Amino acid sequence: MSGEVVVKVSWGPRPETPLQLAQRWLELLTGLSELSELSEGAPAEWRWEEDSGPGQLVPVESEDFTAALEAANTQDDRDILGYTANVVATQSDGAYLRARVIAGGSNEYSPFTAVLHLFPASGAAAVPLTGRFTEVLALLADVWDADHGLTYDRPLYNELRSAYGLRASHPRAGWAVYLSESRAARVPDDFSALRRLPARHGGVVLEIADSSGGTPSTQAVLAAHKTLAGTGALDPLPVPSTEAKL
């Protein structure tokens, strides 16, 4: 593991109202705060991310969150490209979490995403939610009813891209990988996973197994990707795509 850790889920076009998006957002932040409390002993305090740093506290009522989402997304093509929001939570030691979601649009050519960046404190190695990455991935997948997702750091991401020639939008394995229902049906029965967490919408989160018992090695993830890609579990969504999930 090296520096920043990323947990990301993606899906295809799914038009939604700002209120629907606000409700998903608040469920996500509540879940992340609960996981933070279990991991670090203190719930995350979420603020809007601004150019100058953390801004005002994020509203806890869906109507207020909806109003803020609408105020921040006034572009004419928001029904196509979706609504974007960025929030951040900083711990007492300087480590922080940043969530960015682009959702709610009908764009058939670019995926919609929910991404959580986890940054260590200056001079430290551990990032927030260490030991809970698989649960965080399951939370993101559940809340956003995603098509696919993963947990990774930059060196792992680059290794996968180099080994398999992947584009940024292509599904891939990570330390843990989320697969929607139709993708999960393509996982071989003998696929080696340390844990399999059922997801809300019929999918599954696979925590990649490694003989060391710790964070899976790059070679273990590369092997897992090869197996899952070989069965079609990591097929890219078609472009253009008219469905949110494979």
Q: What is the pLDDT of residues 19-78, one digit of tens each?
A: 999 999 999 999 999 998 877 766 678 999 988 778 899 999 999 999 999 999 999 999
pLDDT of residue 123: 86
Where does the pLDDT of residue 1 fall: very low under 50, low under 70, confident under 90, or very high at 90 and above? low
pLDDT of residue 11: 99
Q: Which of 54, 58, 112 is nearest to 83 (CA)?
A: 112
pLDDT of residue 165: 94
pLDDT digits (tens, 9 = 90+) for 151-200: 999 999 999 999 999 999 999 999 999 999 999 999 999 999 999 999 99
Q: How many CA atoms lie within 13 A of 169 on its CB side?
A: 14
The answer to whether residues 208 and 216 touch, using CB atoms and an 8 Å cutoff, is: yes
pLDDT digits (tens, 9 = 90+) for 98-119: 999 999 999 999 999 999 999 9
Distance CA 245, CA 231 (A): 17
The answer to whether residues 30 and 175 touch, using CB atoms and an 8 Å cutoff, is: no
pLDDT of residue 2: 62
Q: At what angle do helices 133-144 and 18-40 cross, to 10 degrees?
A: 170
Q: Alpha helices of the chain — where are they, by DSSP H?
A: 18-40, 62-72, 78-81, 133-144, 154-164, 181-184, 218-230
Across 92-123, b (16+ Cβ under 10 Å) vs e yields eeebbbbbbbbbbbbbeebbbbbbbbbbbbee
Name every residue whose Cβ is closer than 8 Å to that of residue 98 and which is 6 or more positions away in sequence. 49, 86, 87, 88, 116, 117, 119
Q: What percent of the chain has pLDDT over 90?
A: 85
Where does the pLDDT of residue 211 fall: very low under 50, low under 70, confident under 90, or very high at 90 and above? low
How confident is the model over 198-221, as a mean pLDDT?
88
